[in-house]
Amino acid sequence: MEIEAAKFLAAGLAIGLGAIGPGIGVGVLGFGAMQALGRNPEARGVIFTNMIIMVAMAEAVAIYALVVSILLIFVV
C-alpha cells in the first residue's frame, strides 16, 4: 500500500518539478523575443525562427519529465 503511494508521489514530483524549468524558460524566451521585436521589427523572421527552436528545446525537457513520470507509475 505504501509503495503505491510512493510511486504516485514520485511521479507527481517528477512531472511537477520537471515542468517548472521549461515553464520559466518559455516565459523568458517569449519576453526576450517580444522585446527584440519591439526594438527591431525588421528582424521578425530570424527572431521568430530562433524563438520557436529554443521553445521546442525547452519543452523537450518537460516531455522527458513526463516520460519519467509515466515510467515511475507503470514500471516501478
> What b/e sequence results for 39-51 when a residue is b if at least 16 CB atoms lie within 10 Å of its CB, and e otherwise?
eeeeeeeebeeeb
Q: Is the pTM of this model over 0.85?
A: no
Structural domains of the chain ordered from first start: 2-74 (1.20.20.10)
Q: Are 13 and 59 in contact (CB under 8 A)?
A: no
pLDDT tens digits, 26-75: 999 999 999 999 999 999 999 999 999 999 999 999 999 999 999 999 98
Q: Are 11 and 73 in contact (CB under 8 A)?
A: yes
pLDDT tens digits, 7-31: 999 999 999 999 999 999 999 999 9
